[in-house]
Chains A and B, each alone.
Chain A
Amino acid sequence: MVATRRTDGVVVLASIAVAAVVAALPQLGASSYSQILVYYAAYYLALGQSWNLMSGMTGYVSFAHGALAGIGAYAAVIALNAGWPMAPALLAGPAVALLASFVIGATSLRLRGVAFTFATLFFQELALLVLRKMPISGGPGGLALQDIVPIWLPQLLMIVLACGATIVMVALRGSRTGIRLLAIKGDETAALSLGIGAAKMKVALFCVSAAIAGGAGAIHGLFTASLYPDVVFNVDVSLIALAVPMIGGVATAMGPVVGAVLYVCIGEAFAIFAPSLHVVAVGALLLLVILFMPTGLAPFIAQRLCRQSPRATNAVEGRTP
């Protein structure tokens, strides 16, 4: 365990270093096109890590993360339009998402099996329906941010959030709590018999995960500056939150990094060649990964590169292939 702690420390420092470089890109003269790509990579990474934290670690699949990000976006934009200062307005995003997740989690995580997954699936639909109706959210016509924010702010914030979420994941994986969460994922009955308070841990983790997703949504609301319910609550966003970690490497810290970069590349490639194939390609890739390398791309590659004992580093190893 000591060895992996040291490598985890290295990973954390490397993440911060990379994030700092990436954040400084605008200063270094990178084109605005590449800046936008970097932004989206950070956004997908933040979303993916938030999903990974909950569903990757416990095995309880959430389809709500897109909606959680969405309500975060609406909360932040509504707060800003109402004259709130920047910091509290942005915090409104994670706060609202946390509240919603607490309600969903406290009700459905008492139960095992798919109850939670269904609850999150319907939350997505419910959020869309409710937000289309509420006058405060501008209805189906959408909501615009009244004072446009300079673009470097969401760019910087998203990079910080993505880096922070990754560090949280590294810390979790190296901790006793992380082991216990994976125990819940592996066999919840056995975990309960060993004194693990599964229900409470699941709810707490879901709330943390939701707060991150809500934060990502809030920042993204600043970036896009206008919100349309059908776009914000599109099932695509939940697909991203899920596909990025599953393809990259579930329950690992580096997996979603690989997944996010890959997603951005696929997106760009298909935007040029075949715009409508994007979703099909992601679905097909997800299917292939599940069938042939279920631990994800990062662990698969890591094992090919360094053929040593199965515990290379907590950041990259997921589960028994």
Chain B
Amino acid sequence: MTPVLEARGLRKTFGGVQAVRGVDIDVAKGEVVGLFGPNGAGKSTLFDLVAGAIAPDAGAVHLDGRDVTRLAAWRRARLGIGRTFQITRPFRDLTAIENVLAAVPRVGAPGRHDADAARATLAKVGLGDRADDISGRLTLGMLKRLEVARVLALQPTLLLLDEPLAGLTGREAAEILDLIVVLKSEISIVLVEHNVRQSLPVCDRALVLDAGEVIAVGLPDEIRVDPRVLKAYLGEEGRPRC
């Protein structure tokens, strides 16, 4: 069964900094992969490389078996890669529903992409009553959710979520995690999060990045007690925390 995402040997250097150093990542259909690591580990850069926002210095990205390494970001979006941003990027002068309608659905996507479908998507993330509000006036928590609704309108096969829980209240975060669980039967998800405790439970597998390299890969329970991971986060050895 071809994995939804297969990335090999991704490498990216900015000036003197090696942000991503030979990273491999696989995501199977219906899987949620957690991507963790300390600040500056290269997680957002990895997302940029997979989504096509920046070109890798080396390596290849395959989506459903198709080589997309040379394709521009917008083409990859049309093929089914959706991504959210660490710092939200709403179209401030457009209403929430217009934000959702701006998305161009994946080529061959079955669902409709009209105003009704957009409202339904907004309702799914709890913004149903905000559809006609100018997005520039929404709170951070709402903007985070709008970002998710917007990318769902793409009807993606692969979803890259960059810190979707940051800035959300406990309850809002729980709702998003519930949504992820519901989505994963149709969409494969890579999830970057700092809130490891809350997000690890929804992950089927986890990958830990440090200084641009993968230092651990495996099941959540394995990662939780992996000494290299603990050292990367905490700087000390062999002290399981949970």
Contact = CB atoms under 8 A, between A and B. Distances in A.
Interface string A187-202: 1011111111110000
A207 to B, nearest CB: 20
B150 A194 contact: yes
Contact of B77 (A183, A193, A319): A193
Interface string B81-116: 011010001111111001101111110000000010
Contacts of A318: 93
B53 A183 contact: no
A304 interface: no
A179 B102 CA distance: 6
A309 B78 CA distance: 34
A176 interface: yes
A311 B134 CA distance: 9
A196 B104 contact: yes
A3 B53 CA distance: 37
B115 A191 contact: no
A309 B154 CA distance: 28
A315 interface: no
A29 B2 CA distance: 77
Given A182-B94, A190-B91, A320-B93, A198 B102 contact: no
B104 A309 contact: no
B77 A195 contact: yes
B132 interface: yes
Contacts of A185: 93
Interface residues of A, number: 25
A196 B91 contact: no
B65 interface: no
Nearest to A182: B94
Given A192-B72, A194-B151, A195-B74, A187 B91 contact: yes
Contacts of B85: 190, 193
Contact of A186 (B75, B94, B115, B137): B94
A193 B73 contact: yes
B156 to A, nearest CB: 9
A304 to B, nearest CB: 18
Contacts, number: 87
A161 to B, nearest CB: 29
Q: In which size bucket is the chain B interface?
A: 35 or more
B5 interface: no
B136 interface: yes
Given A1-B115, A310-B134, A320-B137, A193 B51 contact: yes
Given A182-B93, A319-B93, A311 B132 contact: yes
Interface in A218-243: none
Contacts of A310: 95, 133-134
A180 interface: yes
A195 B132 CA distance: 23
A194 B53 contact: no
Given A179-B98, A320-B134, A320-B137, A194 B104 contact: yes
Contacts of B89: 187, 189-190
A197 B91 contact: no
B74 A196 contact: yes
Contacts of A194: 74, 77, 82, 102-104, 150-151, 153-154
A1 B114 CA distance: 11
Nearest to A186: B91
A310 B93 CA distance: 11
Nearest to B136: A320
A192 B91 contact: no
A300 to B, nearest CB: 15
Contact of A189 (B53, B133, B137, B153): B53
B102 A196 contact: yes
Most chain A CB inside 10 Å of its own CB: which residue of B104, B136, B154: B104
Nearest to A251: B93
A294 to B, nearest CB: 11
Interface string A210-222: 0000000000000
A308 to B, nearest CB: 12
Contacts of A193: 51, 53, 73-74, 77, 82-83, 85, 151
A182 B78 CA distance: 19
A176 B112 CA distance: 14
Nearest to B95: A311
A182 B104 contact: no
A195 to B, nearest CB: 3
A179 B78 contact: no
Nearest to B77: A195
Contacts of B82: 193-194
Q: Which of A1, A190, A197 has its CB near the most chain B CB atoms (within 10 A)?
A: A190
Contacts of A187: 89-92
14 contacts: A179-B102, A182-B93, A182-B98, A182-B102, A189-B53, A190-B90, A193-B85, A194-B77, A194-B82, A194-B153, A194-B154, A197-B104, A319-B93, A320-B136
